[in-house]
Structure 1
Amino acid sequence: METNIREVEHVLKAPAPHMVGDGFRVHNFFPSGYEIDMSPFFLMDYGSKIEFSARKEPRGVGIHPHRGFETVTIAYHGAVAHHDSAGNSGIIYPGDVQWMTAASGILHKEYHEEAYSLAGGAFQMVQLWVNLPAKDKMSKPKYQAIKQADMSKYILPNDGGHIEIIAGNYNDVKGTASTFTPIELYNARLNQGAKISFNFNSKFNTGFMMIEGSIKINDSVIANQDTFTHFKNKGEHIEIEALENSVVLILSGEPIHEPIVQYGPFLMNTDEEINQAISDYNQGKFGYIEE
């Protein structure tokens, strides 16, 4: 048995949900749901599977600003359209990822894609806020639209399924997204009985979001759908076995050891920078986007 096992700290149940706008029912696992350190991941909103009724006027979130971090939206069911003040727009369908670097400041809006809204149906998403180091917080905004068809993949042996490497590197397969700090972000799509292992730097904050199914971790701990497994910062080796067909979002990243000041949609290092962000927003320096 591997001696450098990374032990589980907690298997956390989904906190009570709340609505973001009228289109996103989410469980905030951190920072408000549980006080766990997942830096560089500052926030995780998990939209567990829900059925939305058909509607002509798409649900969503209206125009709002961001500064100082990145939003990463991962779609499992449903479809979301995006527009921002840097001129980017796109639609993410199941399996797709939208990686928006707000950095120095951006306005954007997110809402249910028109055809999905008209038909209704299952909806399930994850949104992460990924903090940026101080030196990059005021860099130029950018947008990475990552389609599942274009995503880097590692095929597991014995029909075990596959790993989609959104960012980082798994078994020498490099992820699709570019990042500012070392981040490992994968979707593990596992068939029942599949056994796989991961090795993450013990200093990296690591967690598994169970999107679907159930797994056994290190031959001992069971994690079921809609739970988040938070690992101790000790040891590097994690083994999992899929107890049924499962989808697991894998997060691991090098923490950013800098002060954080959050004010709503702004994530900076000092109060002065927050005040500047508010002033810049009020002066229209985040650009313009149509309603």
Structure 2
Amino acid sequence: MTRNADGSEAPADEEPFLVAASLSGAADAEWARDAAEHVDAALLGGVALDPASRAAARDLVARGRSEFLPADPLAFVADQLDALADAPVRPGVNVRSATPEPIRAVAEVCADRGAVCEVNAHCRQPELRAVGCGESLLREPERLARYVAAAAGTGATTSVKVRAEVPGVDLVAVAERVAAAGADWLHVDAMDAEAVIADLAVAGDAAPAGGEADDLADLTLVANNGVRGRETVAEYAGHGADAVSVGRPTEDPPVLARVADVVEEWRAGTLRRREDETGPEPEVRP
């Protein structure tokens, strides 16, 4: 359940919903306001929190990547979230750290503001993986679970951004572990394996009562990658996603508006592929 700090329902509480996914060096409060007309939630960042992740981010900047590197990451997150206090969008922030304590601290900032704290287990840049951030966490699910527990323990809605098609990683097993640790959302970059959403949804549906598998059944699946309009939204809906997210389309207003219109149809229960689109019409899961 997605809640504001006062316990009221947050804008992204009604499934399905549309998320603006973080874009390194671009996803700030101004970006979120620009997208707010069309999205239900906007995840700022990613923001590197601790010395190791910040050193990695500086290395990325040195080779031309845009990154957020404020002098005080916690103050930056607080200021950015406060700037969205009156915006019609659920804010959140995607964060990276090589240790759990900075995650706990930033999650407290999020919890105080009814914002989502998203643990980054997604970035695949060598600099970040070398210090134990991003995708490397998928191969260490117990360490990832400690990060999630640190965030969830503050009361913040906790999301985990993951990537499909990582060699040697059982994403369903990772999902079960982070759900048991307190994750609310699993934000899945499906890469070229969109059916991974179905694998996760089926695992949740089949979960017996009690234990980690039962926690998986309560996890909100946010599908990411290639969401551009009716065809992709319908595909993810058919696979069992609870929501979809867009990254680069947040900077392309016509595409963002198109996706938002389709998500509204999905929410209303009227989502169908157009007759002139190829492929079988998916069965959109409730």
The two structures have a TM-score, normalised by structure 2, of: 0.33
More helix, by proportion: 2
Structure with max Cα Rg: 1
In terms of fraction of residues, the more strand-rich structure is 1
Structure 1 length-normalised TM: 0.33
